[in-house]
Amino acid sequence: MNNVDEIRLDSRFAELKSCHTRTDPDPLPEPEMAHFNVPLAKEMGIDPEQEILLEILSGNRPWPGYAPISSVYAGHQFGSWVSRLGDGRAHMIAEIVRADGKRVELQLKGSGRTPYSRGADGRAVLRSSIREYLCSEAMHALGVPTTRCLSLVSSPLPVARERMETAAIVCRVSPSFVRFGHFEYFSGDREVLGALADHVISAHFPHLEGPEKYASWLSEVVERTAKLMAKWQSMGFCHGVMNTDNFSILGLTIDYGPFGFMDVFRQHHVCNHSDYEGRYAYGAQPDIGLWNVSCLLQATYSLLSENDEEGAQMASEIYKGYVSAFSREALRLWTGKLGFAEVREGDAALVGRFLTLLQNKRLDFTKSFRNLARPEWVEGMDETWLSDYRARTAAEAMEECLRISKMNSVNPKYVLRNHLAQGAIEKAESGDYSEIGKLMQILSRPYDEQPENERYAEPPSSDLPAIEVSCSS
């Protein structure tokens, strides 16, 4: 393990001067380490016992040898074009090269005003910071591509949202924070667009070189995005704000705001109460992923060809790859959740019928899929479907114990349900951070039975008030 001044730094993104502004975080008064992700720190080679970490991760001191920056980008927000956005409350504080040669970027979220704050206060509240901190690590444990979180720092600093709350900062960790919106912002400047694309390819797609590298790269971005959407659907995860500026160029889940794992299954479930028209409803997510991909491709025509018409044609061919990639990955994931060893004709219909049963009978998404591995479980099941399902599993002649093991390895028992996050938030707001640590331990093993934590696998009781999350969440 290394002290922070011994960590090897990189500056690849910092060298792209057009993409960011040099800016310092605002000091955070009376910072307290609410939780620190020791396993992730060790993974990056950082000694977790250093006192200086609190100062750095609260934005009160720079990482030795790195000048903080905030990035500029554009984006389509709820379908409407916004020509200039950017890191309005985030500062990149380091680009680190790990011992294994992999690079990661560290970004503070909630660290104060930047040139891109658009009049806002640049802060994040404890409530939303806890949600992001817990969910990014929960998603990682589930096997969903995601940014991660190293630390959660709290402060008594008052912050006004729907009500008066207190401030917090999370340190997010990712191989890159470049978004679709970066390319949209620079779409009219081929020189900067090319430099940004070259940076992304060199740092994260080094296998793609040669005269067709931009087309190959965009094809891979499209495929990664399609697979991410399939993964979200298979987990019952709703993002809530699928704007193009919230889409990672690496196909990672990024920007946890009004997200939610569904309890009762509903195709039109909307997790963001600010999404009045349901643009980002659960069932719409795959199509929104496709729409966002089209925005990225429109922004990068000039990289594909100096001739606009030819560039548009090439982009159109790349665009077509999304649907086939999503369909293949989604069917593979769904059939795996049902315990099938391979995809066969008729499986898509069987999956669709099961989801219809869940919706019509108002059954819990996560618990229902987990219970399918229990041969005795027939609660709420349609006998016709159950008969067809058993016939399909019997056709593969897989040993039952192996099938159960495979199903339990892809159907989690524990996800970050909203009521669990809310319980941790309420304790933390009274000064007790213990539930954050408890949830981090449980959610790091989402596929294990953990009988001592059985209550954390249960849906919310009917007497709990409904929890609404918005863009301030």
In tens digits, the chain (473 residues) has pLDDT values of 889 999 999 999 999 999 999 999 999 999 999 999 999 999 999 999 999 999 999 999 999 999 999 999 999 999 999 999 999 999 999 999 999 999 999 999 999 999 999 999 999 999 999 999 999 999 999 999 999 999 999 999 999 998 999 999 999 999 999 999 999 999 989 999 999 999 999 999 999 988 899 999 999 999 999 999 999 999 999 999 999 999 999 999 999 999 999 999 999 999 999 999 999 999 999 999 999 999 999 999 999 999 989 999 999 999 999 999 999 999 999 999 999 999 999 999 999 999 999 999 999 999 999 999 987 776 667 889 999 999 999 999 899 999 999 999 999 999 999 999 999 999 999 999 999 999 999 999 999 999 999 999 999 987 766 676 766 64
Q: Side-chain half-sphere of 307: how many Cα atoms within 13 Å?
A: 4
CA neighbor of 41 nearest in space, from 54, 28, 30 = 54
Cα 82 to Cα 76: distance, rounded to the nearest angstrom? 6
Phi and psi based region of residue 250 (left: phi greater than 0; alpha: psi -120 to 50; beta: remaining): alpha
Phi and psi based region of residue 110 (left: phi greater than 0; alpha: psi -120 to 50; beta: remaining): left
Q: Could you tell me the CA-to-CA distances from 97 to 37, 148, 175, 324, 470 in Å, in that order?
A: 18, 16, 10, 35, 36
Residue with tokens 């707001």: 429
pLDDT number for residue 216 = 98
pLDDT number for residue 84 = 97
* Shared domain check, 381 and 331: no
* Shared domain check, 245 and 312: yes
Domain boundary among 406, 435, 456: 406
Residue with tokens 């863009």: 471
Give the DSSP H or E segment for 393. Answer: helix 383-394
pLDDT number for residue 174 = 98
pLDDT number for residue 466 = 66
pLDDT number for residue 348 = 97
* Shared domain check, 22 and 170: yes
* Shared domain check, 272 and 201: yes
Residue with tokens 């729409």: 291
Per DSSP, the three-state class of 465 is coil
* Shared domain check, 256 and 158: no
pLDDT number for residue 32 = 98
Cα 441 to Cα 450: distance, rounded to the nearest angstrom? 11
* Shared domain check, 96 and 17: yes
pLDDT number for residue 379 = 60
pLDDT number for residue 378 = 63
* Shared domain check, 106 and 19: yes
* Shared domain check, 142 and 189: no
Residue 418 in tokens: 């909203």
Q: Could you tell me the CA-to-CA distances from 200 to 74, 328, 333, 425 in Å, in that order?
A: 18, 26, 29, 36
Does residue 56 belong to any structural domain of this protein? yes
Per DSSP, 17 falls in state: G
Number of domains in the chain: 3
- Which among 26, 87, 245, 255 is annotated as catalytic? 245
* Shared domain check, 172 and 187: no
Cα 444 to Cα 193: distance, rounded to the nearest angstrom? 38
Does residue 473 belong to any structural domain of this protein? no
Domain boundary among 122, 151, 177: 177
Residue with tokens 């005269």: 211
pTM, whole model, 2 decimals? 0.96
- Residue 181 near residue 74, CB atoms below 8 Å: yes
Does residue 425 belong to any structural domain of this protein? no
Does residue 221 belong to any structural domain of this protein? yes
Does residue 465 belong to any structural domain of this protein? no
245 is catalytic: yes
Domain boundary among 148, 177, 206: 177
The whole domain housing 134 covers 4-177
Cα 397 to Cα 385: distance, rounded to the nearest angstrom? 19
Does residue 435 belong to any structural domain of this protein? no
What's at 427, amino acid-wise?
Answer: K
Does residue 354 belong to any structural domain of this protein? yes
* Shared domain check, 114 and 49: yes
Does residue 321 belong to any structural domain of this protein? yes
* Shared domain check, 208 and 122: no
* Shared domain check, 147 and 50: yes
pLDDT number for residue 380 = 60
